Structure 1
Amino acid sequence: MALAIFDLDETLIHGDCASLWSAQMGRLGWVDSESFLRRDLQLMDAYGKGHLAMEDYMAFSLEPIAGRTPEEVEHLVGPWVEDFIEPIIFSDACKKIAEHRKAGDRILIISASGTHLVKPIAERLGVDEILGIELEIKGGVYTGNTVGTLTYREGKITRLMDWLDAEEENLEGAYFYSDSRNDLPLLRKVDNPRVVNPDPVLLAEAEKAGWPIHQWS
């Protein structure tokens, strides 16, 4: 049995859940749709190019839920996942998860998105274990801040190593599937890196290293 690790956005789903949730917050009237989504697009473009400070994006994207209870947000995220995320789940991703599950592998999703989004999406994929950006809760409401190491770039390794220690697991024979140059640190750390619909930088690195390249639809 090995560990099968999956990135989420643009790997398991055809889109970025944080940006899609930003659009949903516009529909809910929590933000001014035009200006908020314009800024979201600018920040996500920087993310795609590897230029984004994730702390900046999280401070921006979490501001609309500050002061709201986790229960209120969860109540609205559930239907959003059903309506907007389920239709963009890659069928090939579902097949690969099933393949690893049949092999007896332990499946983990590790994402640079907030756990308030990652957890319900993972549940729709039948995956129980996740690592994502943790949100701070005080007085029963979200503060708009994050907690601990962000699961982004090298931060994914930090959080994963802590998780491995806590679970008495290891990376022997582990797989990691990702689409993004931002995940190169973790891809280089596992025995079985797998590249999915890669961005140009990751594609070049994968071809140079001889890593398997998947085109999922």
Structure 2
Amino acid sequence: MALAIFDLDETLIGGDCASLWAREMVKLGWADGDSFIAREQELMRRYSSGELAMEDYMVFTLSPLVGRTAEEVAHVVEPFVEDVIEPIFYSDATRCLAKHRAAGDRILVISASAHFLVSAIASRLKVEEVLAIDLEEQHGHYSGCTRGVLTYREGKVSRLRDWLHEHDETLDGAYFYSDSRNDLPLLQVIDKPHVVNPDPTLRQHAQQAGWPILSWR
């Protein structure tokens, strides 16, 4: 049995859950329409090019949640995942998950999106173990701040190493599937890295390193 680790956005699903959630918050009236979406997209473009400070993205996109309870947010996240996210699950991704389950592998999703989103989506894929960006709560309400090390770039490696220690696991024979150059720090410490629909920078690195390149639809 090995560890099979999956990125979420553009790897297991054909989209970015944080961007789709930003649009959902506008629909809910929690965020201010076109200006909110335009700023979110600007920050996401910087993420895609590897230039983003994730803290800046989180501060902005968490602002509509300030003062809301986790229960209030979960109440609207569940139908959002069912209506918006489930239709964009990659069939190839679900088959890969099934293959690892059949092999007895332990499956972990690790994502640079908020934990409440990632865990709800992973649950629909029958994956219960998740590492994602944790949010701070004060007096039972979201504060708009994050908590702990962010699961982004080198932060994914740090959080994963803590998780391995906590669960008495190792990376021996481990798999990791990702689409993004931002995951190179983690891909480089994994025994069996796989790139999925990679961005140009990651594709070039994978070709040079001889990593498998997958096209999931």
TM-score by length of 2: 1.00
Aligned to 1:147: 147
AA of the residue aligned to 1:158: S
Q: Does the alignment pair 1:41 with 2:41?
A: yes
2: CA distance between counterparts of 1:98 and 1:132?
Answer: 22
Please state how far the C-alpha of 1:33 moved relative to its aligned partner: 1.4
Local SS of the residue matching 1:113 = strand
Q: Does the alignment pair 1:81 with 2:86?
A: no
Please state how far the C-alpha of 1:74 moved relative to its aligned partner: 0.0
2: CA distance between counterparts of 1:29 and 1:185?
Answer: 38
1: CA distance between counterparts of 2:169 and 2:191?
Answer: 15
2: CA distance between counterparts of 1:177 and 1:51?
Answer: 22
Matches within 5 A, 1:1-217: 1-217=1-217
2: CA distance between counterparts of 1:54 and 1:180?
Answer: 14
2: CA distance between counterparts of 1:161 and 1:70?
Answer: 27
| Runs (5+) with no aligned partner, structure 1 | none
AA of the residue aligned to 1:126: K
**Displaced runs of 4 or more, over 2 A:** none
Please state how far the C-alpha of 1:32 moved relative to its aligned partner: 1.1
AA of the residue aligned to 1:185: P
Please state how far the C-alpha of 1:138 moved relative to its aligned partner: 1.1
AA of the residue aligned to 2:150: L
Local SS of the residue matching 1:23 = helix
1: CA distance between counterparts of 2:173 and 2:7?
Answer: 17
2: CA distance between counterparts of 1:126 and 1:33?
Answer: 33
AA of the residue aligned to 2:70: P
Local SS of the residue matching 1:13 = coil
| Runs (5+) with no aligned partner, structure 2 | none
AA of the residue aligned to 2:14: H
Local SS of the residue matching 1:86 = helix
AA of the residue aligned to 1:136: E
2: CA distance between counterparts of 1:70 and 1:108?
Answer: 23
AA of the residue aligned to 1:55: E
What is the RMSD of the two structures over their aligned residues, measured on CA atoms?
Answer: 0.3
Spell out, residue by residue over 1:80-124, the C-alpha distance to the aligned partner (whole angstroms, 9 max, x if none). Answer: 000000000000000000000000000000000000100000000
TM-score by length of 1: 1.00
2: CA distance between counterparts of 1:154 and 1:215?
Answer: 25
1: CA distance between counterparts of 2:138 and 2:48?
Answer: 32
Spell out, residue by residue over 1:136-188, the C-alpha distance to the aligned partner (whole angstroms, 9 max, x if none). Answer: 01101000000000000000000000000000000000000000000001001
1: CA distance between counterparts of 2:104 and 2:179?
Answer: 24
AA of the residue aligned to 2:156: K
AA of the residue aligned to 1:75: H
AA of the residue aligned to 1:186: L
Spell out, residue by residue over 1:197-216, the C-alpha distance to the aligned partner (whole angstroms, 9 max, x if none). Answer: 00000000000000000000
1: CA distance between counterparts of 2:97 and 2:51?
Answer: 31
